[in-house]
Amino acid sequence: MEQYIIRGGIPLAGEVEISGAKNAALGILAAAIMTDDTVLIDNLPDVRDINVLLEAMESIGVHVDRVTRHAVMMNSKDIGDVSVDYEYIKKIRASYYLIGALLGKYKKAEVPLPGGCNIGSRPIDLHIKGFKALGAKVTIRNGFIIATAEHLHGSHIYLDTVSVGATINIMMAASLAEGYTIIENCAREPHVVDVANFLNSMGANIRGAGTDVIRIRGVESLHRTEYSIIPDQIEAGTFMFAAAATKGDVMVKNVIPKHLEATTAKLLEIDCEVEEFDNAVRVVASKRLSSTNVKTLPYPGYPTDMQPQISVTLALARGTSIVTESIFENRFKYMDELTRMGADVRVEGNTAIISGVDTLTGARVSAPDLRAGAALVIAGLAAEGITTIDDIMYIQRGYESFDEKLRSLGAEIEKVNSEKEAMKFRLRTG
Ligand code: UD1
């Protein structure tokens, strides 16, 4: 079983290039099946979630041609089956974007209902409410969501909770509905905007993405396009906190600094220096960090996907910090692992009270999910001694070449497959 092994204590220094946004790419790949023309998508991250979604798409008849490591040409004119296999949904929840895309294009979709996941129960009632409002009949049978419609029509939809997935899924289906749709209380995340821009580049008529009201005038069909995905703000933020926690100096390149404002604001609050450039940010941590309070919120608030990374950093800051998780109920699972590395943390419901310590010490820990896994890597990089991280397949779901990128910043980290390889690492770095 693959593990990361890390010898911590080295301040990260240098430059790192951020890949394309995984969460934008998931929506965009699904939306790409909505035309019969060939579509070129560039700046795709080479990560497991994306590769699994591409396989799921191939399994229903999409032709996928990998032009380079980061670009695919796709043609979906031969989709013969609107039913997606459970194997894919099990591996990657966001395959549910295929419901909105297939329903919009074929007026029919059969996709297994995604189960719970490690960060808590994740209902999709709002997606279903939106499809129904557009005129679809939605039933759940044998674990599948079956959505069908004679024709889809525009509608006025209010989302009770701000949901990225529901916003994107409804936006896709409404793009090919008859008439005008208004979605209120939308998610405003950069990847919602990126999916809207992509659909518009195929001829859709979507206005207002990035605000809380999206207006969509349905069109008859969509056409070919070439599109480059935005940079991944969560990957960027992860490297920014890795720089902070290791007292490093890192230039994070190929980013949109505006998308990183919540992260940047917190880094400044805890006494890091952050310098913004047109498409890069430099993070320098030259003194002991100070504590702060954080509450996760929908964009432009502080992202839940960056909660573990800031918490790990605060575990090393001076003073007590309070972190409140308001999006997902079960996102503090990694705190037990962090405690094993010497952190002083108490979790009460959706709040973590973190009393900063001077040092963390290396331990064997396991990644409970994608972002918490990345945060444990940060903890390992900052800790004294050796940390090994199990279950790194979660981390590989969303971080391209994570270990390579960290090594290029001077980190001692390696992916190992056996105790022998781990021993070699210990000897080489000891
Ligand atoms: C997306 C991101 C995920 C991120 C999350 C919140 C993708 C592929 N994933 O997930 O990385 O952590 O946004 O920023 O982009 N909810 C309902 N009913 C629904 C849908 C959601 O009650 O039908 C609730 C959820 O339980 C949660 C909140 O709404 O409390 C936000 O979830 P949502 O924005 O939908 O998250 P995802 O789109 O699943």
Mean pLDDT, the chain, integer: 95
| pLDDT attached to residue 117 | 64
| pLDDT attached to residue 93 | 81
Query: At residue 175, does pLDDT exceed 60?
Result: yes
Distances in Å between the Cα of 38 and the Cα atoms of 13, 200, 315 are 42, 15, 49
**CA-proximal residue: ligand 1, atom 39 (nearest):** 165
Mean pLDDT of 238-267: 98
| pLDDT attached to residue 116 | 56
Catalytic residues: 117
| pLDDT attached to residue 259 | 97
**CA-proximal residue: ligand 1, atom 30 (nearest):** 327
| pLDDT attached to residue 330 | 84
User: What percentage of residues in the chain have a pLDDT greater than 90?
Assistant: 90
| pLDDT attached to residue 329 | 82
| pLDDT attached to residue 118 | 72
> How confident is the model over 27-43, as pLDDT tens digits?
999 999 999 999 999 99
Distances in Å between the Cα of 37 and the Cα atoms of 44, 88, 143, 159, 226 are 19, 25, 32, 32, 11
**pTM, entire model:** 0.97
> How confident is the model over 63-82, as pLDDT tens digits?
999 999 999 999 999 998 78
Query: At residue 251, does pLDDT exceed 90?
Result: yes
> How confident is the model over 88-138, as pLDDT tens digits?
777 788 888 999 999 999 999 998 887 656 766 778 999 999 999 999 999
Question: What separation in Å is there between the alpha carbon of 7 and the centre of ligand 1?
Answer: 35
| pLDDT attached to residue 91 | 79
Question: What separation in Å is there between the alpha carbon of 349 and the centre of ligand 1?
Answer: 19
Question: What separation in Å is there between the alpha carbon of 165 and the centre of ligand 1?
Answer: 6
Nearest to 380 by CA among 242, 196, 209, 185: 242
| pLDDT attached to residue 385 | 97
Q: Is the CB of 320 under 6 A from ligand 1?
A: no
Distances in Å between the Cα of 47 and the Cα atoms of 69, 131, 396 are 10, 30, 6
| Structure token pair of residue 289 | 């960090």
Strand order in the sheet with 3-7: 364-366, 386-390, 3-7, 412-416
**CA-proximal residue: ligand 1, atom 20 (nearest):** 124
Q: Tell which one of 327, 331, 369, 394 to mutate to probe ligand 1, the residue whose CB is within 8 A of the most ligand atoms.
A: 327
| pLDDT attached to residue 69 | 97
Mean pLDDT of 178-196: 98
Q: Is the CB of 26 under 6 A from ligand 1?
A: yes
**CA-proximal residue: ligand 1, atom 7 (nearest):** 23
Q: Are strands 144-148 and 386-390 parallel, antiparallel or unpaired?
A: unpaired
